[in-house]
């Protein structure tokens, strides 16, 4: 219960400063909040959409006190949020959870779809730490790829390498992001892999990390209500994703291998396919 009374857990009302359309279904919303601006890469916040719901979202960028969240429309809360305009009001709590940690000097970053959002905050931290990184981003098709311009910019100015994959071959390499990841791991050594995407992707990246003996930090998603380790809705194995994650290391992922990519709880608390 330690996080219950902290300032960061109090709901703050913030005003949307700017909305950027990334793709047909994805928008980035900017607001100012000093607690959110102290988030570390991979941490998430709870966003209250008045009259609709409160949902977990990762921080995708921080610039002074200006913070962004990048939201993919999948249901009522995300649809309502993405229709909000400059000046619209939302509530925020957090940041919560664990974060990606800098390890060594060469990193492989793997993002699937909107999972690339928290990894963008990580790329700016790694660039600041002079870590060389290869970023592999995958999407179904070109129009769903996120942050292409920013990643190309990082490639030009920070010695990063950006690789894009699309399932239909409309941009970058044709195929799955996990296949491109295996190709890299079979030819290059990395000190660490950072991953965020759907659980099928994360499970495959976990298997590859094991196979090639490269440490992994991966972010997981579960239903979240309290975000403070109390309600149990976000459980995976012996962990609660909101408190012990969302970023887990390889040892922890191995401990929950029986559930990873297989089982999660639905909003009614019933076990469903992850
Ligand atoms: C730690 C964490 C970080 C996340 N970061 C992002 C992000 O940066 N950008 C982004 O677009 N999405 C992110 N999500 C997913 C986002 O929370 C869900 O897409 C959102 O809650 C869906 O709400 P909805 O009402 O629009 O859709 P619904 O109709 O409620 O649900 C659609 C699907 O979204 C998922 N979902 C619904 N409610 C929750 C919940 N309370 N917790 C987790 N998943 C849920 C389920 O898979 C469900 O099938 C994150 C989730 C977690 C757990
Ligand atoms: S969301 Fe309640 S325990 Fe994690």
Domain ranges of the chain: 7-96, 100-219, 221-274
CA distance 211 to 92: 40
pLDDT tens sequence across 134-146: 999 999 999 999 9
| Ligand 2 centroid to residue 244 C-alpha, Å | 10
pLDDT above 70: residue 118: yes
**Residue of 242, 245, 265 to test ligand 2 pocket, by largest number of atoms within 8 Å of CB:** 242
The tokens describing 151, both together, are 């990643």
Q: Is 262 helix (H, G, I), strand (E, B) or coil?
A: coil
Q: Residues with beta carbon inside 6 Å of ligand 2?
A: 224-227, 229-234, 240, 242
- Beta pairing partners, 271: 265
pLDDT value of position 3: 55
Distance 138 CA to ligand 2 centre (A): 29
Q: What is the mean pLDDT of residues 119-133?
A: 94
Average pLDDT over residues 227-237: 95
Assess whether pLDDT exceeds 80 at residue 173.
yes
Nearest ligand 2 atom, CA 223: 1
Q: Is 54 in the pocket of ligand 1 (CB under 6 A)?
A: no
**What DSSP string describes 136-204?**
EEEESSGGG--SHHHHHHHHHHH--EEEEEETTSSSSEES-HHHHHHHHHHH---SEEEEES-HHHHHH
Domain 100-219 CATH class label: alpha beta
With a 6 Å cutoff on the Cβ, whether 77 touches ligand 1 is: yes
The model's pTM is: 0.95
Which superfamily does CATH assign the domain made up of 7-96 to? Translation factors (2.40.30.10)
Residue 82 CB less than 6 A away from ligand 1? no
């Amino acid at each position: 219960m330690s996080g219950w009374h902290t300032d960061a857990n109090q709901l703050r009302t913030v005003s949307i400063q700017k909305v950027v359309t990334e793709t047909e279904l994805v928008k980035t919303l900017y607001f100012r909040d000093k607690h959110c601006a102290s988030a570390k890469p991979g941490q998430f916040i709870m966003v209250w959409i008045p009259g609709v719901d409160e949902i977990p979202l990762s921080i995708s960028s921080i610039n002074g006190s200006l913070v962004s969240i990048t939201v993919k429309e999948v249901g009522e809360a995300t649809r309502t949020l993405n229709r909000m305009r400059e000046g619209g009001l939302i509530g925020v709590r957090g940041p919560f959870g664990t974060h990606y940690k800098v390890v060594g000097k060469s990193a492989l970053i793997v993002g699937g779809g909107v999972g690339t959002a928290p990894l963008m905050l990580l790329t700016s931290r790694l660039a600041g730490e002079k870590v060389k990184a290869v970023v592999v981003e995958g999407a179904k098709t070109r129009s769903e790829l996120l942050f292409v311009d920013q990643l190309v910019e990082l490639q030009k100015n920070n010695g990063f390498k950006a690789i894009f994959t699309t399932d239909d071959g409309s941009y970058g390499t044709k195929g799955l992001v996990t296949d491109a990841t295996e190709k890299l791991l079979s030819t290059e050594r990395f000190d660490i892999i950072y991953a965020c995407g759907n659980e099928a992707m994360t499970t495959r990246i976990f298997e590859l990390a094991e196979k090639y003996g490269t440490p992994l930090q991966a972010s997981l998603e579960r239903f979240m209500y309290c975000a403070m380790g109390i309600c149990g809705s976000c459980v995976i194995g012996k962990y609660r994703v909101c408190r012990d994650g969302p970023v887990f290391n390889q040892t922890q992922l191995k401990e929950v291998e029986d559930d990873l990519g297989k089982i999660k709880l639905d909003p009614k608390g019933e076990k469903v396919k992850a």
